[in-house]
């Protein structure tokens, strides 16, 4: 008994000590941020690799930067975006020409970085980025093709398609088509994948060989099929990542989209069979794990785990692949990551390169693949790790939006403008708008928490709202903003009220006087005890950001902890039952909430969380709009369905 008492005292003492220990801040950071920090330390100014006399336009830099873009989307921290811009600005001249890029080489690898150029153009509007992206798009117009229309991997590799090339070219090709209305390009994108599957497939295993030579001219090519001798892990990873990334851009109603989703399912099923059951990773030659010299390979493992996790998030792959992705992630951290006392992390176990043909000649044999060096902190592996980490950090969260759909109104807010091609497009508070006034960052937050996002382009009806968990109406149009605005009416208000009472979460975001319609918008708001006042509070002069401060008290029901928010030029609210104010400032009601039937209504007299004030590029670092928006989204999704 005395021994038990002493042991209890000892355990209590140890717990007390542990509870007061201060663990290093870096150990609490997400893995995606820690590896991104390592990349920024290794390549602070430009992408200079061992043996280089000058930094070159390389695809592997784009892999890292797409990972860092995902980190920026997950944090709203300007340092990540600034690093992307700085990295690309090393190559992009003011006239849009790209330092070190030669289009006449017809190297599909050179197209990969175009994805970052599109991001930079969409966010900043700087024409040099669009002109540079246009140059890469022009390469694809004249890029040599096989007789069936498949892009050659490089001009120096004639008549050959490699799995690697699908990642290098197709996500950029699809996003460019989405942005610049090249609808027929989606058919060409799908064709590239279908050709690679048709000619590269091993019918027995369902796996894809590394490369295919249409002319059977290469020594590595099978005389009958043209396929290379082996399945290579990283090439499978490139193909899988390309599949899920292209799905971000092919419209949901496109007739070819289902071909891509079915291909992803086949690909995932085949690669799952060669996932190592002991470590959860994939070997360099995945279908020969026991052969002498073979080894678990980091980049392939990260890429395939990313493919599974994102495929699940997109709703294409079933939840069984979430378990496989988690198993892979555990194995990746255990097998490939080295931590240092100063917080740095290294990624070991990435094969430097593996190709086919060339000089010296690479014959695609097993001995050849095993001869390539395996290195630490290879940029391809690091980029794949960052991408994988961002997806797994989503997958491992509690995801309160799982199975819930968030609709944004595009009927009462229906502003249009001309895009660079002169075509009329929607803008202002839309999911796909990455400029200052868009909601692209907000959409990313909703998706990070497991929700899907969509639009309601027509007047709200019972049918239109069916299946939606959250419905956002923001900044109803005036005649100044839209020639023929759609105003709130009784029928629309009735449908919305019925939907809320049944359990929906309505978000009403107004604007200050002179920038929004009030009278008809209040027809809806008044039903819930809320009114938007024709006023403009927290007016900000120039860059005097302190004039826009609204402070959240600690323990707030939505934001949980004390936050310094930036909410400028908002319309205050009137509040009566069933509504109640949940945030006041200088005697004015800023935010209100109403419980109505089974549903909830949230109101704020400002669009608030558009890109300009959550992406970190403008506001001083003391403002906490991004973490506040994250808490707000979580609260909305938790209320939905209650």
Q: Rounded to an integer, what distance in angstroms lies between the CA atom of residue 175 and that of residue 495?
A: 36
Q: Helix 379-395 and helix 233-246: axis angle, to 10°?
A: 50
Question: If residue 473 lies in a helix (H) or strand (E), which one and from where to where?
Answer: strand 470-474
Cα distances (angstroms) measured from residue 376 to each of 45, 335, 352, 373, 379: 20, 13, 9, 10, 9
Q: Rounded to an integer, what distance in angstroms lies between the CA atom of residue 132 and that of residue 274?
A: 40
Is residue 164 annotated as part of the catalytic site, yes or no? yes
CB atoms within 10 A of CB 93: 12
The set of residues, in sequence order, having a beta carbon less than 8 Å from that of 458 and lying 6+ positions away, is 411, 464
Q: Rounded to an integer, what distance in angstroms lies between the CA atom of residue 530 and that of residue 532?
A: 7
Q: Rounded to an integer, what distance in angstroms lies between the CA atom of residue 22 and that of residue 14?
A: 14
**Which of 243, 369, 385, 384 has the alpha carbon at shortest distance from 314?**
243
Burial class (CB in 10 A: 0-12, 13-18, 19+), 579: buried
Q: Rounded to an integer, what distance in angstroms lies between the CA atom of residue 211 and that of residue 192?
A: 13
DSSP sequence for 398-439: --TTTT-EEEEE-SSS--EEE-TTS-EEE-SS-TT--STT--
Q: Rounded to an integer, what distance in angstroms lies between the CA atom of residue 277 and that of residue 576?
A: 60
Residue 311 DSSP SS3: helix
* C-alpha count within 13 angstroms, C-beta hemisphere, residue 292: 1
Residue 504 DSSP SS3: coil
- Candidates 60, 95, 104, 164; catalytic one: 164
Terminal Cα distance for the chain, rounded? 50
Q: Rounded to an integer, what distance in angstroms lies between the CA atom of residue 408 and that of residue 472?
A: 5
Cα distances (angstroms) measured from residue 539 to each of 122, 517, 546, 553, 567: 28, 19, 10, 22, 9
Residue 335 DSSP SS3: helix
The set of residues, in sequence order, having a beta carbon less than 8 Å from that of 179 and lying 6+ positions away, is 118, 122
Residue 591 DSSP SS3: strand
Question: Hey, which residues are catalytic here?
Answer: 164
């Amino acid at each position: 008994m005395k021994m038990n008492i002493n042991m209890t005292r000892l355990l209590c003492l140890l717990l007390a000590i542990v509870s007061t220990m201060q663990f290093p801040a870096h150990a609490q950071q997400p893995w995606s941020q820690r590896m991104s920090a390592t990349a920024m330390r290794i390549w602070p100014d430009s992408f200079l690799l061992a043996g280089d006399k000058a930094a070159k336009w390389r695809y592997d830099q784009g892999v890292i930067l797409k990972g860092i873009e995902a980190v920026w989307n997950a944090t709203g921290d300007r340092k990540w975006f600034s690093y992307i811009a700085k990295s690309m600005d090393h190559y992009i001249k003011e006239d849009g020409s790209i330092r070190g890029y030669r289009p006449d080489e017809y190297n599909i690898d050179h197209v990969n970085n175009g994805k970052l150029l599109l991001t930079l153009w969409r966010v900043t509007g700087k024409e040099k980025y669009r002109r540079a992206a246009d140059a890469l798009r022009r390469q694809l117009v004249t890029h040599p093709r096989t007789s069936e229309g498949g892009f050659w991997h490089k001009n120096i590799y004639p008549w050959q398609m490699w799995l690697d090339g699908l990642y290098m070219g197709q996500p950029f090709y699809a996003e460019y088509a989405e942005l610049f209305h090249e609808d027929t390009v989606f058919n060409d994108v799908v064709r590239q994948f279908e050709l690679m599957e048709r000619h590269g497939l091993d019918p027995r295993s369902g796996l894809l060989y590394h490369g295919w030579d249409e002319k059977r001219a290469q020594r590595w090519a099978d005389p009958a099929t043209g396929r290379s001798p082996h399945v290579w892990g990283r090439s499978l990873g490139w193909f899988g990542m390309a599949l899920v990334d292209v799905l971000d851009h092919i419209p949901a109603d496109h007739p070819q989209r289902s071909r891509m989703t079915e291909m992803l399912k086949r690909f995932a099923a085949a690669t799952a069979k060669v996932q190592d059951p002991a470590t959860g990773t994939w070997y360099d030659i995945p279908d020969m794990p026991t052969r002498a010299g073979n080894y678990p390979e980091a980049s392939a493992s990260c890429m395939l785990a990313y493919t599974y996790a994102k495929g699940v998030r997109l709703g294409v792959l079933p939840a069984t692949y979430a378990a496989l992705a988690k198993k892979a992630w555990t194995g990746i951290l255990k097998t490939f990551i080295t931590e240092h006392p100063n917080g740095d992390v290294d990624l070991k176990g990435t094969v430097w390169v593996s190709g086919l043909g060339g000089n010296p000649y690479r014959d695609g044999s097993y001995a050849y693949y095993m001869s390539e060096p395996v290195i630490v902190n290879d940029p391809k592996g690091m980029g794949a790790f960052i991408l994988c980490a961002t997806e797994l950090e989503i997958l491992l969260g509690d995801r309160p939006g799982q199975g819930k759909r968030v609709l944004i109104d595009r009927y009462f807010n229906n502003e249009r403008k001309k895009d660079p091609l002169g075509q009329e497009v929607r803008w202002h508070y839309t999911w796909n708008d990455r400029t200052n006034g868009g909601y692209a960052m907000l959409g990313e937050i909703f998706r990070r928490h497991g929700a899907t996002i969509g639009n309601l382009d027509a007047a709200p009806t019972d049918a239109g709202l069916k299946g939606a968990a959250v419905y956002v109406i923001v900044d109803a149009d005036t005649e100044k903003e839209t020639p023929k605005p759609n105003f709130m009416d009784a029928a629309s208000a009735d449908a919305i009220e019925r939907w809320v009472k049944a359990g929906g979460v309505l978000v009403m975001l107004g604007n200050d006087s002179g920038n929004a319609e009030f009278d008809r918008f209040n027809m809806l708001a008044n039903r819930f005890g809320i009114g938007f006042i024709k006023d403009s509070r927290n007016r900000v002069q120039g860059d005097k950001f302190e004039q826009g401060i609204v402070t959240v008290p600690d323990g707030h029901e939505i934001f949980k902890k004390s936050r310094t928010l930036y909410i400028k030029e908002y319309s205050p609210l009137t509040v009566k039952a069933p509504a109640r104010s949940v945030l006041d400032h200088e005697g004015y009601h800023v935010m209100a909430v109403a419980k109505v039937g089974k549903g909830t209504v949230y109101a704020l007299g400002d669009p608030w969380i558009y890109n300009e004030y959550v992406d970190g590029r403008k506001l001083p670092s003391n403002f906490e709009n991004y973490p506040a928006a994250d808490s707000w989204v979580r609260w909305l999704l938790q209320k939905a369905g209650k």
